[in-house]
Structure 1
Amino acid sequence: MSIEEKLEAALSAVKAKSPLVHHLTNYVTVNDCANIVLAIGASPVMADDIAEVEEMVSIASALVLNIGTLNARTIESMLAAGKRAKSLGIPVILDPVGVGATILRTKTAEQIIKEVQPTVIRGNMSEIKVLAGLDVTTKGVDSTASAENAEEIAKKLASDWNCVIAITGKTDIVSDGRQVYRIDNGHPILSDVTGTGCMSTSLIGSYCGANQDYLTATVAGLVSMGLAGELAQKSLTPQEGVGTFRMRLFDNIYNLAPESLAKGSKVSCE
């Protein structure tokens, strides 16, 4: 089966199953993450209290852990929910937002990777290089690292940690340690809207909740965001900007059909 056929089947599965995606995510983008999950055809829940996270994740199809606005309370909840999810075979998607910027973020991401063993880790080049133990300068939650050797880094980390690694940037790189996919969907304007990375992770969670092929699910999530970004930008008039773009980004995710995803994908495999 070609990657295009796999992408079409993956989105069809999301729309048919409407998987429940449990989030412990950051409060800057929580509403956008919930809405992007609804738009693709899945169902979001944003429960983060330690008293209910294990019970909630037990009925979910996927768990998204996003460390964008860390605090001691949510760290405890993330670890508890993550361990419970893994014990039940529920995929865990980690978004190590801003890792490397502070000791707390770095230690928390490392602890989640060690104790939870995520199914998918999605980050920008700076974040992934920090997790790989490479020397890199961070700028808040934005990437400043070169994408040089991205394929090799993704493949090695995926193999070492037995997970899918996704590095997002001008070209997205996704690997399970064996195959490496390059995704060229997207538009630079996506980086001008807060939360598009977080939303991409939520889309990956939506696909993982409906598909057991987590490599394809990760590719599908990133292609969905990139393609929707392309279509939203193309529709803008000269007088319109990021506000209209953000609204149309959601519209294009909502209206994305399986055959359109397959046809519009720009994916190559190494």
Structure 2
Amino acid sequence: MPLVSIIVTTYNRELLLKETILSILAQSIEDLELIVVDNFSNYDFLKLIDSFHDKRIKSIQNQNNGIIAVNRNVGIQAAQGKYLAFCDDDDLWEPNKLELQLPFLESNSADLVYSGTLLFNEMGMNKIHCYQPVKTLSQFFGYNPVTLSSVILRNLKDISFDENRVFAGIEDYTLWINLWMRGFKFHMIEKPLVRFRVSSTSFSSVSRSNNEYKIIKFKMSLFARLLSWKERLALLYFTSFSIARFTLLKLLSR
């Protein structure tokens, strides 16, 4: 049994995926398995995986019909590790990421550990991005404070991403909320341990606004009844703001 199972989902990003895999294999913690789930890319995915000559890599191909959560869950089902970690196929890990995160899990002081993030692109942009540590439910209002590629958590075998198409694009956010409500202890390392690649395809204003709008709908439908009156007012404010922003950006993008 490996200590950590790392799940990467991918589609048609051969060169970026190679960089991602190399950053994971360069971890100072070697007791890991890397599960790469491919949505039948248009290049020879299996040949690429074989080129690493590393038995810790498991390759899976599965059709997800446009719902990334499906292939994330395929990876979780295949995972044998004590802990689960995730990385998008265009993000990069710092070599000591797992080494710095694991002690909090091993000491039972946390059930989920995430970190600050370094936003970067090919134009030379580098910007550290770090929210305040999550301590209350209301901190999830308006944004997702937990970067997927920075997360490592306990593998409890009943963890899964919501495959509902309504939540496509925010399946990680809905999982963090559900784990928080289940009593998971979150811990944040402020140091950026993951590099998040910002591109025109992954970080457009319209797609961000679309996801924010989905986030608001999710919060209203799933756990608004659990909020205090102050949190309900905050939710109402963010709902109004996000709907207006989403509508405006949609109009401007036509």
Structure 1 length normalisation: TM-score?
Answer: 0.28
More helix by share: 1
Structure 2 length normalisation: TM-score?
Answer: 0.29
Work out which of the two has the higher radius of gyration on C-alpha atoms and give 1 or 2: 2
More strand by share: 2
